[in-house]
Chain A
Amino acid sequence: MSIWEYANPKKFVETTTPLLPWTFGLSGLCLVGGLIWGFFFTPDDYRQGATVKIIYLHVPSALMAINAWLMMLVASLIWLVRRHHVSALAARAAAPVGVTMTLVALVTGAIWGQPMWGTWWAWDPRLTSFLILFLFYLGYMALWEAIADPDTAADLTSVLCIVGSVFALLSRYAVNFWNQGLHQGASLSLDAEKNVADIFYYPLLACIAGFVLLFIALVLMRTRTEIRVRRIRALELRARRAEART
């Protein structure tokens, strides 16, 4: 019994069928609970007022935007090394979810930035690297769409994902070098002494858990769709071949 057994598409679908409603349900529970808790049962910040509550959407989506790319990187590596189709399809399935998370983070950031910094957008290192991440997502998805042969597409996008990760990291630090930021530093680190106050921290944790579960659920669902699309294509191909033979 090893984890690679789940790389079998049939086994993957069978295993995830009972899991899917649970992940969706739990994520909904966490999100609804966390957001209601955060929006209605925490005080306003003494300087930021009610706008501080954007944190419950902004931080989890930003977190998932980066982790989605990380997950795509891992899935791409697994595809290149072990050639499990489910892995390549999962990477493909994660990209649109990741790009949405990036967009949500950028938009909520802009809405938060307007009252706090007096501007929707600033060429701040964090904001800029997120915009670059967004462009990387777009290129990755465009490459998937452009190539007809699924295996070639999986190979090429995997290589692009790996090369892109190196350059995304490079841009992250290059951008730091290029401009000083308005954005605050890390305030959720596990090892830091001074973090966000506990009263905001716990609902935020619930929201982060909700976003993680939502991401998992969406990726599972989209991967299953991709598997079925692939299966339908194979069946149609077989039917056409049988027709041609008769």
Chain B
Amino acid sequence: MKALILRDLRLAIRAGGGFGLGLAFFLIVIVLVPFGVGPEAAVLRRIAPGILWVAALLAALLSLDRIFALDHEDGSLPLLATAPLPLESVALAKAIAHWITTGLPLTLAAPGLGFLLNLSPAAYPWLFGGLALGTPALSLIGTFGAALTVGLRRGGLLLSLLVLPLYVPILIFGAEAARRGGDGLEATVPLVFLGGIALGTLALMPFAAALVLRINLR
């Protein structure tokens, strides 16, 4: 399993676009928003948590279809399925690799980009904590979505239609935690909910992903 994670990471680094692309996309969305809504600091401060979360969601979505598609094309997916490693662990390893290449850099970069949107200082720890808890769940749900659409030729658009509604609760709790933190309110409740969702997806999503992978490889 460790070997699989390392392999995926190595592929992401060497093939290019693994770490960089998601982050660059994140940055561009953040930069575009002030052009769209105007540069007033007060407006930006109010919408900053939501924008950062939505941008993180989209950036995570961007690289989802690569989780299984490349392995499916070169035929290593059936090999992984017949390997002694259970398919559930394969799905989990893929999700972890996806999180390290997109979720982790996003989490680390988000506080830095908060300055661009004039995020209120009190919101930083909550935004960081929320993203740290929420992005693994994004990767896990995304792995399920990618497994669902792996056999399809034009799965990318369908993938976003399937996965984005599943992201709604995470977005609500994550942005709510950052917003409450920014207003100086107690924000542990949404954060606890977010942690619950993350743990729930960690427990269940690899099984769902492996189930649909088996169906797709039949």
Contacts and interface: CB of A to CB of B under 8 A. Distances in A.
Contacts of B148: 143, 156, 159-160
B89 interface: no
Interface string A16-53: 00000000000000000000000000000000000000
Contacts of B149: 143, 146
A174 B173 contact: yes
B176 A147 contact: no
6 closest A-B pairs by beta carbon, nearest first, are A174-B169, A135-B165, A174-B172, A155-B215, A170-B169, A139-B162
A157 B151 CA distance: 14
B22 interface: no
Given A174-B173, A177-B190, A178-B176, A160 B215 contact: no
A159 B166 contact: no
A135 B160 CA distance: 11
B162 A171 contact: no
Task: Report the interface size class on chain A.
Answer: 20 to 34
A178 B49 CA distance: 14
Interface of B: 144, 148-149, 151-152, 154-155, 158, 161-162, 164-166, 168-169, 172-173, 176, 190, 193, 197, 208, 211-212, 215-216, 218
B166 A167 contact: yes
Given A147-B152, A170-B197, A132 B161 contact: no
Given A135-B165, A139-B158, A170-B169, 17 more contacts: A132-B168, A138-B161, A146-B155, A159-B148, A159-B211, A159-B215, A163-B208, A167-B165, A167-B166, A167-B168, A167-B169, A168-B165, A171-B172, A174-B173, A175-B172, A177-B190, A178-B172
Interface in A128-145: 132, 135-136, 138-139, 142-143
A203 interface: no
Nearest to B165: A135
A237 B154 CA distance: 26
B168 A174 contact: yes
B175 to A, nearest CB: 9
Interface in A82-116: none
A139 B154 CA distance: 14
